[in-house]
Amino acid sequence: MKQITGLLVLLFLLYGGITVSAQQKYKKLLWADEFDKDGLPDTSKWGYDIGGHGWGNDELQYYTRRIENAIVQNGVLRISLLREDYDTNRYTSARLLSYKKFDFRYGRVEVRAKLPEGRGTWPAIWMLGSNIATADWPGCGEIDIMEHKGNDPGKIYGTLHYPGHSGADGNGKTIVIKDASTVFHIYSVEWSAEYIKIYVDKKLYHTVKNSKLLPFNHNFFIILNVAMGGGFGGAVDPAFSKTSMEVDYVRVYQ
């Protein structure tokens, strides 16, 4: 009996203990934006992608750095997708990224957000490998913490893209959150050398085993954006005028 008990304790420490330590692993706040200062987003933390060339997905929006498309107000960041003629595009929006301002390897990312609504809208909370300039995509790796189609309300996508699993062949799963566009939810990822786990409100719905063969073992940066249409966003409501993704905070723990 003592031998059996000892074996059970050993198994718990080896397996159960790993689970506990993984949950407790990411407690130190490494970086955050609480969006508590009104005005343009903090330029020490966020830069912008600019332009309207489709972004590889035949998207319809032009990304700007205007306050009309990205503003911090009343404790939230609001990324607004607008129907307006701008350059040669019919819609404007914003794409914020921490590239060359903040990146990290391994940890937990939490983003509390309320998603936009409307057919064709495509909000995303995601990360790219900081070596994208040399490794290109998908060689740099991509972690999609949250994507949502306005054409399929409430269906949340968590996906990894890397060589052999990119574009429509990404390694992903979905979960349904019916009030994603009316209530704030926490979208998060836990990322280590052993695994990548994607959650909504602490509910785990996608796990990928990491390894040295995958491009998920170097620094990544964070991206927040709202796209329109394209290969993923799909058909656009002809009566669309405006919508926003609201972000309460972005926090990174290690």
Q: How many helices (H) and strands (E) does the chain have?
A: 4, 17
The CA distance from 104 to 31, in Å, is: 10
Name the token pair of 72.
């911090």
Instruction: For residues 153 and 221, give the distance between their C-alpha atoms in angstroms, rounded to a whole number.
Output: 27
Q: Is 142 labeled as catalytic in the residue annotation?
A: yes
Residue recorded with tokens 């405006």:
242
Please tell me the distance from the alpha carbon of residue 162 to that of residue 176, in angstroms, as a whole number: 25
> What does the DSSP 8-state code read for residue 15?
I
Q: Give the Cα-Cα-Cα angle 239, 243, 248 (nearest 5 degrees).
A: 170
Catalytic residue among 59, 110, 117, 147: 147
Residue 147 falls in the annotated catalytic set: yes
Whether residue 94 contacts residue 116, with contact meaning beta carbons closer than 8 Å, is answered with no
Q: What is the CA radius of gyration of the chain?
A: 19
Going 231 to 233 to 235 to 240, the CA torsion angle's sign is: negative
Separation of alpha carbons 238 and 119, rounded Å: 9
- Of 142, 190, 194, 246, the active-site residue reads 142
Rounded Cα gap, residues 200 and 181, in angstroms: 14
d(CA 60, CA 219): 30
Would you please indicate which residues are annotated as catalytic (active-site) residues?
A: 142, 147
